[in-house]
């Protein structure tokens, strides 16, 4: 038995020496200590050993098992260290190497201006309302006091979708949708895309507007101008002023065109403002009584003002962009200039 034990130990050592990795080492170990391994077979064979010899036999086999277990455990530990070292050597990273650069995007100038406008008016307590881009004639025109035969419908060349559906020509449609749902006091800001069959250096068939609507008891044109002054100072420059000129919109009475003093020349007159010192920025006015009535708001109790501005136009003024097409061409040489 002693020699058999030594032989098994030698054999196991040789098998362990041959193993190149932990997997092979485990397999070698199983050949001796596994369920069908040699040592296990010896233990099973104990049945056939004479009863008086069994304790001594059992003791020797157990010793053998312990020796082998210790031998394999030591080698497993060494193997693990070796494999770990190899893995570390292989996976070594140079932490000082510069990372791969990803081109950084920038917000589109129209988005920048829209966000700024939302900031400014949200700060004055306006809530955002977004209406649908496909509208009915009723919301886009009729309810805004612009019946089918009204000449003002020609002011805005409309894309019709089918039947009474059209691509909204103005965010003013949102005024009606909100007033149908909500009773005064109202302070609404409605940004969105609008569409008109119009195409030149300052007009694009698709552009963005920002509509504002305030309805409450005792609202006056003075409130409108005060709020627009605040808007001009925050959007353009601390010294910006506004000027109201009489105008016409079917849904406001009186209606005004709002000019902001030219930020480029401080109102002295330059090429941007064509020597006038003023730049036309938006349309506005007191909400026409008929519009209030159409929405079930009593015009003898409530009054309001509305304004609508082109976001592209504001962006062009703010950033000195001379062609509206630059805003839709997606030329990164242009867009990159708005990175912060
Ligand atoms: N909807 C008008 C336009 O698109 C602008 C406007 C809005 C005027 C609200 C007055 C009041 O030209």
CATH code of 241's domain: 3.30.930.10
Lowest mean pLDDT among 78-87, 177-186, 261-270, 299-308: 261-270
Lowest mean pLDDT among 11-20, 108-117, 134-143, 149-158: 149-158
Residue 35 has pLDDT above 80, yes or no: yes
59, 146: one domain:
no
Three-state secondary structure call for residue 52: helix
Decide: 140 in ligand 1 pocket, CB within 6 A. Answer: no
pLDDT-based confidence at residue 239 (cuts at 50, 70, 90): very high
Measured in Å, residue 323 CA sits from the centre of ligand 1 at 22
Average pLDDT over residues 258-271: 88
Measured in Å, residue 301 CA sits from the centre of ligand 1 at 23
This prediction has a pTM of: 0.71
130 located within any domain: yes
Ligand 1: residue whose CA is nearest its atom 4: 170
Instruction: Kindly report, residue by residue over 193-224, the tens digit of the pLDDT.
Output: 999 998 888 889 999 999 999 999 999 999 99
Question: Which atom of ligand 1 lies closest to the CA of 310?
Answer: 4
Last residue of a domain, one of 35, 61, 91: 91
87, 121: one domain:
no
Decide: 145 in ligand 1 pocket, CB within 6 A. Answer: no
- pLDDT over 70 percentage in the chain: 99
Measured in Å, residue 259 CA sits from the centre of ligand 1 at 14
102 located within any domain: no
- Number of structural domains the chain divides into: 2
CA 285, 287, 288, 289 dihedral sign is negative
Residues 6 or more apart whose CB falls under 8 angstroms from that of 180 comprise: 295, 296
Decide: 195 in ligand 1 pocket, CB within 6 A. Answer: no
101 located within any domain: no
- Check: CB of residue 208 under 8 Å from CB of residue 193: yes
Instruction: For Cα atoms 174, 176, 180, give the angle at the middle one, nearest 5 degrees.
Output: 120
Partner residues linked to 300 by β-bridges = none
Measured in Å, residue 158 CA sits from the centre of ligand 1 at 15
Question: Which atom of ligand 1 lies closest to the CA of 171?
Answer: 1
Decide: 176 in ligand 1 pocket, CB within 6 A. Answer: no
Helix, strand, coil tally for the chain in percent (to 5): 45, 20, 35
Residue 1 has pLDDT above 70, yes or no: no
Instruction: Kindly report, residue by residue over 291-317, the tens digit of the pLDDT.
Output: 999 999 999 999 999 999 999 999 998
Residue 264 has pLDDT above 90, yes or no: no
128, 157: one domain:
yes
pLDDT-based confidence at residue 155 (cuts at 50, 70, 90): low
Radius of gyration of the chain (CA): 42
Give residue for tokens 């397999």: 27
126, 179: one domain:
yes
Last residue of a domain, one of 58, 91, 124: 91
As a whole number of angstroms, the longest Cα–Cα distance in the chain is 124
122 located within any domain: yes
Residues 6 or more apart whose CB falls under 8 angstroms from that of 200 comprise: none
85, 114: one domain:
no
Decide: 146 in ligand 1 pocket, CB within 6 A. Answer: no
Compute the distance between CA of residue 307 and CA of residue 315 in angstroms, rounded to an integer.
17
Lowest mean pLDDT among 4-8, 187-191, 239-243, 333-337: 4-8
- Check: CB of residue 131 under 8 Å from CB of residue 177: yes
Measured in Å, residue 135 CA sits from the centre of ligand 1 at 16
Measured in Å, residue 314 CA sits from the centre of ligand 1 at 15
Instruction: Locate the DSSP E strands across 28-182.
Output: 127-128, 134-136, 160-162, 165-167
- pLDDT over 90 percentage in the chain: 62
- Check: CB of residue 263 under 8 Å from CB of residue 175: no
- The per-residue pLDDT for 248 is 96
Question: Which domain range does residue 58 map to?
Answer: 2-91
Instruction: For Cα atoms 243, 246, 248, give the angle at the middle one, nearest 5 degrees.
Output: 130
Compute the distance between CA of residue 306 and CA of residue 227 in angstroms, rounded to an integer.
11
135, 167: one domain:
yes
Decide: 305 in ligand 1 pocket, CB within 6 A. Answer: no
77, 124: one domain:
no
Decide: 308 in ligand 1 pocket, CB within 6 A. Answer: yes
- The per-residue pLDDT for 105 is 82
Decide: 285 in ligand 1 pocket, CB within 6 A. Answer: yes
- The per-residue pLDDT for 53 is 87
Three-state secondary structure call for residue 190: strand
- The per-residue pLDDT for 2 is 63
212, 291: one domain:
yes
What is the token pair recorded at 119? 């900031």
Ligand 1: residue whose CA is nearest its atom 10: 284
130, 244: one domain:
yes
Question: Which atom of ligand 1 lies closest to the CA of 172?
Answer: 1
113, 196: one domain:
yes
Residue 3 has pLDDT above 80, yes or no: no
Measured in Å, residue 249 CA sits from the centre of ligand 1 at 7
**pLDDT higher for 283 or 201?**
283
Question: Which atom of ligand 1 lies closest to the CA of 213?
Answer: 9
53, 148: one domain:
no
Decide: 232 in ligand 1 pocket, CB within 6 A. Answer: no
272 located within any domain: yes
CA 192, 198, 203, 205 dihedral sign is positive
Compute the distance between CA of residue 108 and CA of residue 116 in angstroms, rounded to an integer.
12
140 located within any domain: yes
Measured in Å, residue 292 CA sits from the centre of ligand 1 at 16
Q: 13: closest CA among 40, 34, 31?
A: 31
252 located within any domain: yes
Mutation pick for ligand 1 pocket among 208, 306, 309 (CB with most ligand atoms within 8 Å)? 306
134 located within any domain: yes
Decide: 284 in ligand 1 pocket, CB within 6 A. Answer: yes
207, 321: one domain:
yes
Decide: 139 in ligand 1 pocket, CB within 6 A. Answer: no
pLDDT-based confidence at residue 261 (cuts at 50, 70, 90): very high
């Amino acid at each position: 038995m002693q020699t058999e034990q030594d032989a098994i130990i030698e054999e196991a050592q040789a098998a362990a020496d041959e193993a190149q990795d932990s997997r092979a080492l485990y397999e070698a170990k199983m050949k001796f200590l596994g369920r069908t391994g040699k040592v296990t077979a010896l233990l099973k064979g104990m049945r056939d050993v004479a009863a008086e010899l069994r304790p001594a036999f059992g003791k020797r086999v157990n010793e053998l098992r312990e020796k082998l277990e210790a031998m394999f455990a030591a080698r497993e530990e060494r193997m693990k260290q070796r494999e770990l070292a190899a893995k570390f050597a292989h996976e070594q990273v140079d932490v000082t190497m510069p990372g791969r650069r990803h081109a950084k995007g920038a917000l589109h100038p129209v988005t920048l201006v829209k966000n700024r406008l939302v900031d400014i008016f949200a700060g004055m307590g306006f809530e955002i309302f977004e209406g649908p881009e496909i509208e009915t004639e009723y919301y886009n025109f009729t309810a805004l006091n612009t019946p089918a035969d009204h000449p003002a419908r020609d002011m805005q060349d409309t894309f019709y979708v089918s039947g009474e559906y059209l691509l909204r020509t103005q965010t003013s449609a949102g005024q009606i949708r909100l007033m149908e749902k909500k009773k005064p006091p109202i302070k609404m800001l409605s940004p969105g895309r609008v569409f008109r069959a119009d195409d030149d250096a300052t007009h694009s068939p698709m552009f963005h507007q920002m509509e504002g609507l305030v309805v409450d008891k005792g609202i006056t044109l003075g409130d409108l101008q005060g709020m627009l002054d605040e808007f001009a100072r925050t959007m353009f420059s601390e010294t910006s002023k506004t000027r109201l000129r009489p105008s016409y919109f079917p849904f406001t009475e009186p209606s005004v065109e709002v000019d902001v003093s030219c930020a480029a020349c401080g109102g002295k007159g330059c090429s941007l403002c064509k020597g006038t010192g003023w730049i036309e920025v938006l349309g506005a006015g007191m909400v026409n009584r008929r519009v209030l009535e159409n929405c079930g708001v009593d015009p003898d109790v409530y009054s309001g003002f509305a304004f609508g501005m082109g976001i592209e136009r504001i962006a062009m003024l703010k950033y000195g962009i001379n062609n509206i097409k630059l805003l839709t061409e997606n030329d990164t040489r242009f867009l990159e200039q708005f990175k912060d």
